[in-house]
Amino acid sequence: MSAADKPANSLWGGRFGAGPAEIMRRINASIDFDKRLYAEDIAGSKAHCAMLVARNVLSPEDGAAILAGLEQIASEIESGSFAFSDEHEDIHMNIEARLAELIGPAAGRLHTARSRNDQVATDLRLWLRNGIDRLDLAMRGLQQALIDRAVAEAETVMPGYTHLQIAQPVTLGHHLLAYVEMLGRDRGRLADCRRRLNECPLGAAALAGTSFPIDRDATAAALGFDRPAANSVDAVSDRDFALEFLAAAAITGTHLSRFAEEIVIWCSSEFGFISMTDAFTTGSSIMPQKRNPDAAELVRAKTGRLNGSLVSLLTVMKGLPLAYGKDMQEDKVPVFEAVDALELCLAAMAGMVRDLQPRRDRLRVAAEAGFATATDLADWLVRAAGVPFRRAHQATGEIVKRAERLGCSLAELPLAELQTIEPAITPAVYDLLDPVRSVASRTSFGGTAPESVRAAAQEARKRFLK
C-alpha dihedral (381, 386, 392, 396), degrees to nearest 10 = -20
∠ Cα 265 269 274 (to 5°): 60
Cβ–Cβ < 8 Å for 253, 246: no
Cβ–Cβ < 8 Å for 136, 450: no
∠ Cα 386 392 394 (to 5°): 155
Question: Rounded to an integer, what distance in angstroms lies between the CA atom of residue 265 and that of residue 275?
Answer: 11
CA max distance for the chain: 109
- Active-site residues, by number, are 163, 284
Which residue, 113, 125, 112, 116, is CA-closest to 95? 116
Q: What CA–CA distances, in Å, run from 86 to 76, 110, 142, 189?
A: 18, 21, 40, 37
Q: What CA–CA distances, in Å, run from 386 to 391, 392, 425?
A: 10, 9, 11
